[in-house]
Amino acid sequence: MKHLFYRIQFLLILIACACTYSLPAFAWGQEGHRIIAKIAYDNLTKRARKQVDNILGERGMIYWANWADEIKSDNIYPQSISDGWHYQDFQGGLSDSIVADALVHYPKEGGMLLCMLDSLELEVAGDRVMRTNAEHLLRFFIHLNGDRYCPMHMAHMDDKGGNAVKMKWFGRDTNLHAVWDSKLIESQGYSYTEYAQMIQDIYHAQKREIEKMTDEELLLETYHLTESIYRYQESWDGNTYHYIYTWHEFMERQLYIAGIRLAQLLNSIY
Ligand SMILES: [Zn+2]
């Protein structure tokens, strides 16, 4: 009966947060999602790792970390695009209490990321009992838990999560969303394995502190970071080197948080 309970709950949550907001936003680029999945995999318990390997098969967690973006060109799970599963945008300048309230009362506009993560967590936990669709659910769970810590996936609705904020990156046209999805990460020139290792070496000392943070604290930290990025944008002189110099450490910490939090969730589920 347990699986039936989870399934009903999942449906109810989907209905409760049904939302019509849509925009073509991608997430952390491929490298970002691989870095997050690698950090998470490195921090799984033996037991959780075995369960994840069993469900995802021989390709494993890092391989499937980008699947939820890749299927945007297919017609499976079209609601993942039309309903905005990959982001939860807000208005700018909100008070902490209004932002934090999004964890309890899912916003009616701006995407469905927070709502989806809660329902997927129930589903993934429920699929310990029933295996139908377990693989797809886990692939979504891994990917969307990465998106949650991408600042431009918790950005402003008015500019479509930074997609409408035009900017130049080393002289080439791009936008704020794309810079945070991939350009900032790529600017460092590491492979995903190198970068995942380096980030863990740098931030390992913060692991316990991050694990103790509440969902609310993490959500607010990302929102405040996003607001700082927008403020910087207003006075930015267009120097790409200065942009990278200013923000790459913040980006790395977000990747680390995403990986550690994902591991923590999977360890508690399995
Ligand atoms: Zn995504």
Question: Candidates 3.40.30.10, 3.40.50.970, 3.40.50.360, 1.10.575.10; correct CATH number of 2-269?
Answer: 1.10.575.10
Instruction: Give the Å distance between the CA of 51 and the centre of ligand 1.
Output: 23
Residue 22 has a pLDDT of: 38
How high is the pLDDT of residue 103?
94
- Report the sign of the C-alpha dihedral through residues 209, 185, 23, 168, in that order: positive
Q: From ligand 1's centre to the CA of 1, what distance in Å?
A: 32
Distance 70 CA to ligand 1 centre (A): 9
Q: How remote is the CA of residue 267 from the centroid of ligand 1, in Å? A: 22
> What is the distance between the terminal CA atoms of the chain, rounded to a whole angstrom?
19
Ligand 1 geometric centre to CA of 140 (Å) = 9
Per-residue DSSP letters for 45-113?
A: -HHHHHHHHHHHTTTHHHHHTTHHHHGGGSSSSTHHHHTTTT---B-TT--HHHHHHTTTS--SSS-SH
| Residue entry with tokens 């046209």 | 173
Residue 8 CB neighbour total at 10 angstroms: 10
Ligand 1 centroid–CA 86 distance in Å is: 5
Give distance in angstroms: CA of 9 to centre of ligand 1. 23
Per-10-residue mean pLDDT, the chain, length 270: 49 48 58 98 98 94 95 88 94 96 94 94 75 86 97 95 97 97 96 98 97 96 98 96 98 98 96
Q: What integer pLDDT is reported at residue 141 of this predicted model? A: 96
Centre of ligand 1 from the C-alpha of residue 64, in Å:
12
Q: Which residues contact 61 (CB under 8 A, 6 or more apart)?
A: 37, 40, 41, 52, 53, 142
CA separation for the pair 239, 181 (Å, rounded): 19
What pLDDT is stored for residue 14 in this prediction?
Answer: 52
Q: How far is the CA of 66 from the centre of ligand 1 (A)?
A: 8
Residue 20 has a pLDDT of 37
The rounded Å distance from CA 137 to ligand 1 centre is 14
- Amino acid 131: pLDDT: 60
Whether pTM > 0.85 for this model: the answer is yes
Q: How many other CB atoms are there within 10 angstroms of residue 245's CB atom?
A: 11
Decide: 111 and 21 in contact? Cβ < 8 Å: yes
Quick one: pLDDT at residue 18?
47
28 CA to centre of ligand 1 in angstroms: 7
